Amino acid sequence: MKIAILPIEYYDGVDARLSNKGIFIIRGIDCNILGRISMNITTIDVSNVKK
């Protein structure tokens, strides 16, 4: 698994209820949110995103 750490969090408007359920779209690919959305970071699975 390849994981990305984003400096986007619930303070920026990402709903904390999306923890372990939501997605971010990176280069047209759905990337699942991993774990809890915290006050200063969000982690996502970018395994399927190509360079």
pLDDT, tens digit (0-9, with 9 covering 90-100), for 1-40: 999 999 998 889 899 999 999 999 999 999 999 999 988 9
State the Cα torsion 49-27-37-16 to the nearest 10°: -140
Q: What are the φ and ψ backbone dihedral angles of 24, each rounded to 5 degrees? A: -115, 150
pLDDT for 44 equals 97
pLDDT at 48 over 90: yes
d(CA 30, CA 46): 9
